[in-house]
Homo-oligomer: A and B are copies of this chain.
Amino acid sequence: MRTMNDSSESTVEAVARRARDASRVLARLSGDRRNEVLTAAARSIEANRKEILQANERDCVAAERSLSAGGITRSMLARLRLNDRAIDEMALRVRDVANLSDPLGRRLSTTELDKGLVLHKESCPLGVIGIIFESRPEVIPQVTALCLKTGNAVILKGGIEAAATNQSLASVLQESLRQFREIPVSAIELLQTRSDVGELLALERDVDLIVPRGSKELVEFVKQRSRIPVLGHGEGICHVYVDGAADIRKAIDITLDSKTQYPAACNAAETLLVHETMVRGFLPQAVMALKNAGVELRGCPRTIALVGTDAVGRASEEDWAKEYSDLILSVKIVATLEEAIAHIQRYGSGHTEVIVTEDAGTAKRFMEEIDAAGVFHNASTRFADGFRYGLGAELGISTSKLHARGPVGLEGLTTYKYKLYGSGETVAEYASGKKKFKHRKVD
């Protein structure tokens, strides 16, 4: 266990307690003050560019050695390596977050319970956020900016292969806090060893939310171990359903974009469902367009019978439940809208589901009945993204239904409290009938 602070105690418990104390200070900072902190952080990243890149070079040298020994993969190494442009990008992203409107102190509702007794439901910080991530060191400035903007303290735990880079980045960010004398440096904490993770996940009293960022395996590991609520990226098994009343041009464009625009993304489509009346008009054209784009197809028996084994392989039961994250698409012909919906409910991951149709009634049924974070009518699955949605920032995409669903921006790092302002009111006066509630909604 190493932390970046000069405080004496360095158990994970002590780290979390210090973060909790810091969170109370952050909770009372004004929005302007929080933005000053972010601006200082961005400047600090730029000013310490050399130190950060040197630390990164040490990680890369070690990683290359590990690469030849088979310890890490070439793509992990690529994600690890920083350069001047990456540093600029980090600082830019932090400034972008500073420019977003203040997520705190928003009045979600105001009710006048009675004359002089007013209730506000108001957004406020969660408190302490734990972020567990792999490889990419740019996660540090990015999530630290999101946490500080929302008045939360952050405890970071990165991958061991980026240890020097992470340490350098966390130090730079902590140093930038020192000019704000009221803010404890422990608003940003870094953990470095794997065993710290297990300890962190048990500290339900001092940590309010855990955000795992990385592979499906990491997210699963964290979810299973954590006693703290977890806000996790889910799997993305997204479908495009081409209805009998689809416009063929739109159907082909949407299918291609959903699969090929960035196949590694969680919002890429994995399965194409085609209504049986579209097997002549749409299917052959779609197959040709997909093949031209380099997509491997795996079809149901009817698809194979129609298109031929040259163009389409056989989809196994596992294919329907698989997130390929690659240029592979499974294809199934369905007889009815109900069959399409049933297939999606069975195999979908609740991420994003698309219907292509010109029939408003069919679209409505799909949009109501499909239980997913995103239901799209005549648009690509790839629009499911915090920036495209206009949230201005994205912490991740949640396939959980509670707290935050779909692309999660700053709001996912806040909660709310009820503030009641009175002038000595007691419940006894209302229980006795002496006074009566008005419950007037003010907004």
Using a CB–CB cutoff of 8 Å, the interface residues on chain A facing chain B are 24, 27-28, 111, 113, 117, 119, 124, 126-127, 208-209, 229, 247, 249-250, 253-254, 256-257, 261-262, 345, 365, 367-369, 371-380, 382-384, 388-390, 400-403, 405-407, 415-428, 430-431, 437, 439, 441
Contacts and interface: CB of A to CB of B under 8 A. Distances in A.
A316 to B, nearest CB: 21
B424 A247 contact: yes
Contacts of A402: 126, 208-209, 229, 402-403, 415
A367 B417 CA distance: 9
Contacts of A417: 371-375, 405-406
B428 A257 contact: yes
A382 B28 contact: no
Centre residue among A124, A372, A383, A406 by max chain B CB count within 10 A? A383
Nearest to A374: B418
Contacts of A439: 390
Contacts of A380: 425-427
Given A261-B431, A369-B24, A388-B437, A383 B424 contact: no
A420 B376 contact: yes
Copy number in the complex reads 2
A393 to B, nearest CB: 13
19 contacts: A24-B371, A27-B371, A113-B383, A119-B389, A127-B401, A257-B428, A367-B419, A373-B418, A374-B418, A376-B422, A379-B422, A380-B427, A384-B418, A388-B430, A390-B437, A403-B403, A405-B415, A405-B418, A406-B418
Contacts of A371: 24, 27, 124, 127, 417
Given A113-B389, A119-B389, A250-B424, 17 more contacts: A28-B369, A113-B388, A113-B390, A208-B402, A253-B424, A261-B428, A367-B419, A374-B419, A379-B421, A379-B425, A383-B427, A388-B430, A390-B437, A402-B403, A402-B415, A405-B418, A407-B418
A423 to B, nearest CB: 5
Contacts of A345: 24
A28 to B, nearest CB: 5
A416 B403 CA distance: 10
A126 B403 CA distance: 11
A402 to B, nearest CB: 4
Contact of A383 (B365, B379, B389, B420): B420
A64 B257 CA distance: 69
A27 B174 CA distance: 48
A334 to B, nearest CB: 17
B378 A423 contact: yes
Nearest to A249: B424
Contacts of A416: 405
Contacts of A262: 427
A422 to B, nearest CB: 3
A382 B254 contact: no
Nearest to A24: B369
Given A209-B402, A377-B420, A402-B209, A261 B368 contact: no
Nearest to A117: B379
| Max chain B C-beta neighbours (<10 A), residue from A113, A249, A425 | A425
A28 B365 contact: yes
Contact of A401 (B126, B368, B390): B126
6 shortest interchain CB distances as A-B pairs = A379-B422, A250-B424, A257-B426, A390-B439, A382-B427, A402-B403
A6 to B, nearest CB: 23
Nearest to A345: B24
Nearest to A127: B371
Best-buried of A345, A371, A382, A420 by chain B (most CB within 10 Å)? A420
Contact of A418 (B117, B375, B423): B375
Contacts of A250: 423-424
Contact of A368 (B27, B126, B375, B383): B27
Contacts of A424: 247, 249-250, 253-254, 378-379
Contacts of A373: 417-418
A203 to B, nearest CB: 15
Nearest to A29: B368
